[in-house]
């Protein structure tokens, strides 16, 4: 079985314990942080395991390249600290079970767009940006064969991820894909962060969706007309697993003439959509999620955003209606890019 590659020596030598001291949802000083992370590493219980909102951010905050979030989740499962009520965990585990037969394996023999478990968002994949690009997992009936499973970090179920992920990788590999452009941050984070941390081999190269979009826009530069929109970006939790790719968000905005508004909750300080928090077991979770959403959207509004840009469909599902009510139009990043090259966005609402 796979084992998390977590180096406790790194924590012992960490000057900041930023994994916990920077946490937006827990107020922890440096000494306490150091003590608690070592307790967790040693297999002991900690209040952190109970209070963690599973926002992934500590993976990004860790200055030592360790994996504090994976460790927390692993320990939550071992000690049966369930962040979500039992039926939600069962439901979540059931969601990822394929049930509509085996997928059709088209041999790509090269690079392809990997939709993961979002084949139902194929409506976004149209126009010149995607011309000639093969897609795998384009059938919503079969998409769970391509589900990266990393969602189960929210469910304290690393065991489910580790049990299913090798089969998912094998399915993707059967397409002879050499380079998978991951539609969703979560897939990208799975193959570039989680798998290496667990020693799970990934036999294909991965490209972040935003990197792909940026490069395509550069190729289509002569078609770009500035969108002249003031935009806010809703950073998804799994983006914390690939912080180096965040720059492409701003590179794209610059390229297409979108102005990223100056916000408080941006970059490392970004607030999650709250979708997972509202269902958590902890007293007051529903209201807490609502408060986080309120802070986030007020921040966008105060900064003068006209448009909220999403990549994660789950964030979109959770927040689109709420931002819209505040007069901010929700849009997927790919649609924004299509708008910039004179195409009609598929998902404008």
Partner 1 sequence: MDIIHQGLLDIVGEGHISNQQEELFIYSWDLGTTEPHRPDYVVSPRTPQEISRILELANRHRIPVIPLGGGLSLAGLAVPFRGGIIIDLKRMDTIIEVNEQARYAVMECGVSMGQLTSYLERKFPMLTHSEPGAPPTATVAGNAAIHGQGDLAHPYGFNSDMVNGLEVVLPTGEICRFGACSIGAQWFTQHPLPDVGLFLGWTGTTGIITKISLRLFPCKNIRGTAMFVVDNEDYVPDIYHRISRTQMAEDIIAFSQTIPPYASGLQHFTINLAADSEKELEFKKELIFDDALGEYIRRGDGGYLGFTYGLQHPQISKTADWRKGGGFEYVGGIMPVSCYPQCYRRGKEISDRHDIPYTVLGRCIGAAHAMMFSWTYAFNRADPESVRHAREAMHETDELALELGGAIWKPGLYGQRLVMSRLNPNTLNLMKKIKKLLDPNGIMNPGHWEES
Q: How far is CA 90 from the centre of its chain?
A: 21
Expressed in angstroms, the distance from the first to the final Cα of the chain is 46
CB of 289 to partner 1, least distance (A): 9
Nearest-CA neighbor of 151 among 143, 142, 160? 160
CB of 97 to partner 1, least distance (A): 4
Nearer to partner 1, 106 or 290 (CB): 290
Residue 210 contacts residue 248 (beta carbons within 8 Å): yes
CB of 120 to partner 1, least distance (A): 13
Span 78-97, contacts to partner 1 by CB under 8 A: 82, 84-88, 90-92, 94-95, 97
Nearer to partner 1, 11 or 273 (CB): 273
Query: Of the listed pieces 30-38, 183-191, 223-231, 315-323, which binds partner 1 according to CB under 8 A?
Result: 315-323
Task: Report the residue count for the chain.
Answer: 349
CB of 78 to partner 1, least distance (A): 17
CB of 284 to partner 1, least distance (A): 8
Span 237-296, contacts to partner 1 by CB under 8 A: 275, 278-279, 281, 283-287, 290
Per-residue CA distances from 211 to 79, 123, 188, 218 (Å): 39, 20, 11, 11
Nearer to partner 1, 100 or 107 (CB): 100
Count of residues near partner 1 by CB under 8 A? 27
CB of 326 to partner 1, least distance (A): 11
Nearer to partner 1, 243 or 279 (CB): 279
Q: Is 102 in the site for partner 1 (CB under 8 A)?
A: no
Nearer to partner 1, 34 or 236 (CB): 236
| Cβ contacts of 305-308, under 8 Å, gap ≥ 24 | 305/230, 305/231, 305/232, 305/261, 305/263, 306/229, 306/230, 306/231, 307/229, 307/230, 307/231, 307/232, 307/258, 307/331, 307/336, 308/231, 308/232, 308/233, 308/234
Spatial separation of the C-alpha atoms in residues 323 and 307, rounded to whole Å? 9
Nearest-CA neighbor of 298 among 339, 264, 345? 264
Residues that bind partner 1 (CB under 8 A): 82, 84-88, 90-92, 94-95, 97, 99, 275, 278-279, 281, 283-287, 290, 317-318, 321, 325
């Amino acid at each position: 079985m796979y084992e998390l590659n977590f180096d406790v020596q790194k924590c012992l030598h960490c000057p900041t314990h930023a994994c916990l001291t920077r946490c937006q949802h827990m107020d922890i000083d440096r000494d306490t942080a150091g003590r608690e992370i070592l307790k967790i590493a040693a297999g002991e219980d900690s209040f952190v395991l109970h209070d963690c909102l599973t926002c992934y951010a500590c993976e990004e905050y860790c200055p030592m390249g360790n994996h504090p979030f994976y460790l927390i989740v692993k320990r939550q499962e071992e000690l049966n600290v369930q962040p979500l009520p039992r039926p939600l965990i069962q439901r979540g585990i059931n969601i990822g079970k394929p049930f509509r037969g085996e997928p059709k394996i088209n041999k790509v023999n090269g690079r392809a767009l990997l939709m993961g478990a979002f084949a139902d968002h194929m409506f976004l994949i149209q126009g010149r940006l995607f011309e000639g690009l093969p897609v795998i997992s384009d059938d919503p009936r079969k998409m769970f064969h391509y589900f990266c499973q990393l969602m189960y970090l929210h469910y304290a179920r690393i065991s489910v991820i580790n049990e299913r992920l090798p089969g998912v990788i094998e399915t993707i590999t059967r397409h002879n894909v050499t380079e998978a452009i991951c539609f969703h941050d979560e897939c990208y984070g799975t193959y570039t962060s989680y798998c290496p941390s667990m020693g799970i081999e990934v036999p294909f190269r991965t490209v972040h969706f935003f990197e792909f979009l940026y490069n395509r826009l550069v190729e289509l530069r002569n078609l770009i007309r500035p969108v002249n929109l003031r935009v806010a970006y809703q950073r998804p939790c799994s983006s914390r697993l690939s912080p180096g790719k965040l720059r492409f968000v701003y590179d794209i905005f610059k390229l297409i003439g979108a102005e990223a508004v100056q916000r408080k909750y941006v970059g490392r300080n970004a607030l999650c959509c709250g979708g997972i928090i509202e269902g958590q077991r902890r007293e007051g979770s529903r209201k807490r999620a609502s408060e986080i959403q309120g802070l986030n959207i007020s921040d966008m509004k105060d900064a003068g955003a006209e448009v909220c840009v999403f990549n994660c469909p789950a964030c979109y599902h959770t927040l689109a209606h709420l931002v819209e009510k505040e007069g901010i139009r929700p849009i997927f990043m790919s649609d924004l890019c299509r708008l910039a090259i004179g195409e009609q966005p598929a998902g404008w609402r």
